[in-house]
Amino acid sequence: MAISSLLLKSYFPLICTKPSLNNKNNTHSNSSILHISLRTNPPHRATTRLSNTHRLSWQNELKNAFQQPPSNQNLIENYSIDQIDKIDDESFQKLVDKKCVDNVRMLIVDAVQNAKAGHPGMAMGMAEVGYYLYRHAMRYNPRNPKWFNRDRFVLSAGHGCLLQYVCLHLAGFESVQIEDLKNLCKLGSRTPGHPENTVTDGIEVTTGPLGQGVANAVGLALAEAHLAARFNKPDCELVDHRVYCIMGDGCAMEGISHEAASLAGHWKLNKLTLIYDDNCNTIDGPTSLTFSEDISARFRALGWNAITVDNIHDNMGSIEDALLSALNETRKPTFIRVKTLIGRLSKKEGTFKSHHGTFGEDDLEEMKRKLKWENQEPFHVIPMVYREMQIQSDQGQKLEREWFSKLDYYKSKYPHQEAAEFEVLLNGGLPSNWESCLPKWSMSDSVDATRGYSEKCLTELAKVLPGLIGGSADLASSNKVYLHDYQDFSVPHSPSGRNIRFGVREHAMAGISNGIALHGSGLIPFAATFLTFSDYMKNSIRLSALSHAGVLYIMTHDSIGLGEDGPTHQPVEQLAGLRAVPRLLVFRPADGNETAGAYKVAIRNREVPSVIALSRQKVAANLEGTSANEVERGGYIVSDNSGRNMPEIILIGTGTELCLCEGSAKMLREEGRKVRVVSLVCWRLFDRQPVEYKEQVFPQGVAKRIGVEAGSPLGWREYVGGEGLVIGVEEFGASGAYLDTFKKFGFTEENVTNVAKSLLEK
């Protein structure tokens, strides 16, 4: 039976709860193991009583499963399984939980066997943890997966996605039905080989490249802490949720996890819980081949509350104790090291061979025998498992209703700035007419670098966009991205601050920014560094595009024009590489007005990341003919003296080189030549324009074209055509004053003019 139809049926209450007398707020405890009011600090246990109906519905299933329970004596001390009706409620619930975990494992096995592909090892080893989080710990509503105040779950070890898919299915998420589990890894399915937030509701972030999810989780936790500080009131807490993240050995090895964990500890993000699947295996073999550090000591040194769970497979209550410790912690994030057996239950248990791939028939039969599953068809779900999981989802619906009541109260009590800003954020973060704040420049304005014009744009945008938040990788003064009217984000001093100090951690900065963008609260993150250091961030930038995370990447020092720092800092191939990333918008504005236009397009596209590449060297604030509004076309005609005739030659520039094209065009026009100058500020936007518009800008009848950009010429052939030329950089730059460096590589008005003349003479 599909879960959606089962959930529509009425059922008897499964648990009767008696509120604790010492806590008036305990009105929604729902588990006989983890009885926690997550809004209460500190958490506490409540007195619970399982209903007779609940016990009766499980008794036959449990008797069949645990007839010979030597390995389960700790679950049912002082009783035999035949006396199950006499077992106390807590022990009974432990048996229920264990049987639910068995079902989770068999669904994982069935999905891999059916698909003949997948990664079962981690999912099977962490089945207890995944089930426990979705059944007893997390607050969520499957009927509204985007409910604002839900807890967030991130699977940094994305290859273990089957664990999350199975839990989402059992919890009642429409996005993962039994048919979706059967379609694992198939083209177009809602259960791809690694979790994708744009494909499956209930997936918060896209993960797969190891360690990225850790940084995403830090970003999600930062967003919660920041918004809570800004909007919570003593009588009304609107923002109060936790972030749970599962990481693996590969995540622990990747540098991004260390960078992000360092920041989380420094920021004291106490509502972040990182659960480490310590199964001692990677693809190539045991971790002892490459990994011998004390990972718990590392996290303690980074400022985390570190806990070890040694016996999760025999005592699921051990994860409860660890989570209680995390909930009690008020000044540190929590790292829970869970020692597991990869591929738990199979003959490959505990070995790297279970990381990926299917199981042999003899192994499958043995697993079924161990769980008394021999008579079950593939993808069988015990009906009571659905009901068990529904307890948590029903509680989530109740919590959501209570939250919306709080929101109504908040709007009536604090109707002006706080409620108005919060409403804007909930609706995407863009107030009406926000674009009007962007500066406009005239020919008479003083010259500056485009990074300077960017600073003026950010200053004005921060005043009207309540969600604008971000910072730099220790280059705020060079990137010119510091929001001077706002504090630094710092816990506990100023968590409401909108300047984030990332330190020299470019990779984590980008991954954290993805988490902030995907928090779904209208926050608009920006991350800044030198363009050449975008290589440190590349994988996270790629995931921004894949995840539809609208991060603003502000990359200054965008060419060999930065000068003295030399080729180690002078980007050459970076623009070409970034332009190759699908969906990513790469802007290289030429002046103040194009910079404003780039921000307008980048911020308007909330599900598309953007790179704004900016200069260190100064250019005119407003080149004659440039337009902020035309930036949305990606390319447009800046000047043309051809009248109704075709130009003889087209000069195409981006960034600071556009002024070289204009200067050269002026020289050529003085000699009677018909010259068109085109700004190609964003290639991807131009490529999306109608054919008619592109023909209007680049007529096929004009074959003489020159592209001018102080970077790799890769990709320019599409715009200059077969007969055109490109003035670019095909080797590393050189240390020297920027004008000398430009001259060395041919970026002068005179050289552009000479190249144009030689082309015209052909």
pLDDT digits (tens, 9 = 90+) for 274-304: 999 999 999 999 999 999 999 999 999 999 9
**Residue 361 banded pLDDT, cuts 50, 70, 90:** very high
Report CA dihedral (477, 483, 485, 490) to the nearest 10 degrees. Answer: -90
pLDDT score for 19: 30
Summarised one tens digit per residue, pLDDT across range 106-122 is 999 999 999 999 999 99
Side-chain-side CA neighbours of residue 651 (13 Å): 33
Q: Are 549 and 514 in contact (CB under 8 A)?
A: yes
Helices 89-115 and 361-370 meet at what angle, rounded to 10? 170
Binding site annotation covers 355? yes
Q: Which pairing describes strands 448-449 and 618-619: parallel, antiparallel, or unpaired? A: antiparallel
Q: Is the pLDDT of residue 14 over 50?
A: no
- Is 210 annotated to bind a ligand? Reply is yes
Q: What's the CA angle centered on 518, arms 516 and 520, to 5 degrees? A: 95
Q: Is the pLDDT assigned to residue 746 strictly greater than 70? A: yes
Residue 112 has phi, psi (to 5 degrees) of -70, -45
Q: How deeply is 242 buried, as exposed, middle or buried, from its count of CB atoms within 10 A (0-12, 13-18, 19+)? A: buried
Q: How many CB atoms lie within 10 A of CB 175?
A: 17
- Position 86 scores a pLDDT of 78
Query: Can you give the pLDDT at residue 40?
Result: 35
Q: How far is it, in rounded angstroms, from Cα 236 to Cα 251?
A: 37
Distance, in Å, from the CA atom of 388 to the CA atom of 31, rounded to the nearest integer, reads 10
**What Rg do the C-alpha atoms of the chain give, in angstroms?**
30
Say yes or no to pLDDT of 42 above 80: no
State the sign of the Cα–Cα–Cα–Cα dihedral 461, 463, 464, 470: positive
- CATH classification number, 434-613, choose in 3.40.50.920, 3.40.50.10190, 3.40.50.2300, 3.40.50.970: 3.40.50.970
313 annotated as belonging to a binding site for a ligand: no
Asked if domains 89-396 and 631-761 share a fold, the reply is yes
Q: Helix 506-517 to helix 255-267 angle, to the nearest 10 degrees?
A: 70
CA distance 502 to 154: 21
Query: pLDDT tens digit string along 602-628?
Result: 999 999 999 999 999 999 878 999 999
565 labeled binding residue: yes
Contacts 24+ apart (CB under 8 A), 461-465: 461/434, 461/437, 461/599, 461/603, 462/486, 462/498, 463/437, 464/431, 464/434, 464/437, 465/429, 465/430, 465/431, 465/434, 465/524, 465/603
- 416 marked as part of a ligand binding site: no
Q: Does 28 show up as a binding residue in the annotation?
A: no
Find the mean pLDDT for residues 346-372. Answer: 95
Consult the annotation and say whether 533 binds a ligand: yes
Report whether 569 belongs to an annotated binding site: yes
pLDDT tier at 74, thresholds 50, 70, 90: low
Cα separation, 703 vs 697, in Å, equals 12
Share of the chain above pLDDT 90, in %: 86
Q: Of residues 79 and 195, which shows the higher confidence score?
A: 195
What residue segments make up the domains of the chain, in order of their start?
Answer: 89-396, 434-613, 631-761
- More confident: 396 or 84: 396
CATH topology of domain 631-761: Rossmann fold (3.40.50)
Q: How far apart are CA 658 and CA 709, in angstroms?
A: 8
Instruction: Report the candidate in 603, 628, 600, 636 with the shortest Cα–Cα distance to residue 442.
Output: 628
| Summary count for the chain: helices (H), strands (E) | 27, 22
Q: 255 vs 84, 328, 516, CA distance in Å?
A: 50, 29, 20
Mean pLDDT for the stretch of residues 238-245: 98
Selection from 498, 427, 37, 476 nearest residue 222 by Cα:
498
Predicted pLDDT at 49 = 75
What average pLDDT score do residues 350-366 get? 95
Residue count of the chain, please give it.
762
pLDDT tier at 85 (50, 70, 90 boundaries)?
confident
Question: Are 447 and 618 in contact, with CB atoms under 8 Å apart?
Answer: yes
Q: How far apart are CA 260 and CA 505, in angstroms?
A: 8
Give me the active site residues, please. 506
Query: What pLDDT is attached to residue 80?
Result: 62
Question: What pLDDT score does 81 carry?
Answer: 63
Can you read off the two tokens belonging to residue 608?
């598309």
Listed range (36-40, 419-423, 468-472) with the worst mean pLDDT: 36-40
479: closest CA among 593, 555, 406? 555
162 is in an annotated binding site: no
At 7, the pLDDT band (50, 70, 90 cuts) reads: very low
- Name, in order, each residue with C-beta under 8 angstroms of 218's C-beta and a sequence gap of 6 or more: 260, 261, 263, 264, 269, 272, 508, 511, 512, 515
Mean pLDDT value across residues 568-579: 97
Q: Which fold has domain 89-396?
A: Rossmann fold (3.40.50)
* Average pLDDT score over residue span 713-718: 98
| Cβ pair 341, 312 in contact under 8 A | no
Amino acid identity for residue 298 in this structure: R
Cβ–Cβ under 8 Å, residues 160 and 123: yes
Reading phi first (left if > 0) and then psi (alpha if -120 to 50, else beta), residue 705 is in: beta
More confident: 83 or 142: 142
Residue 571 · residue 558 · CB < 8 Å:
yes
Per-residue confidence band for 68, with pLDDT thresholds at 50, 70 and 90: low
pTM of the model: 0.92
pLDDT at 77 (0 to 100): 54
Any known ligand binding at 136?
no
Which residue, among 704, 693, 710, has the nearest Cα to 746 in the 3D structure?
710
Token pair in block for residue 271 = 């509502």
User: Could you report the per-residue pLDDT of 538-558, keeping only the tens digit for each?
Assistant: 999 999 999 999 999 999 999
Strands (E) in 434-521, as ranges, are: 448-449, 468-472, 499-501
483 pLDDT more than 60? yes
Q: What is the mean pLDDT of the chain?
A: 91
Q: Does the annotation place 119 within a ligand binding site?
A: yes
The predicted-structure confidence for 157-190, as pLDDT tens digits, reads as follows 999 999 999 999 999 999 999 999 999 999 999 9
* Token representation of residue 32: 């006989």
Helices 161-171 and 383-413, packing angle to 10 deg: 80
pLDDT(34) > 90 = no
What's the pLDDT score for residue 443? 84
Instruction: Report CA dihedral (59, 62, 68, 70) to the nearest 10 degrees.
Output: -110
Contact present, 210 and 255 (Cβ < 8 Å) = no
State the average pLDDT over residues 145-149: 97
pLDDT (mean) for 412-432: 95
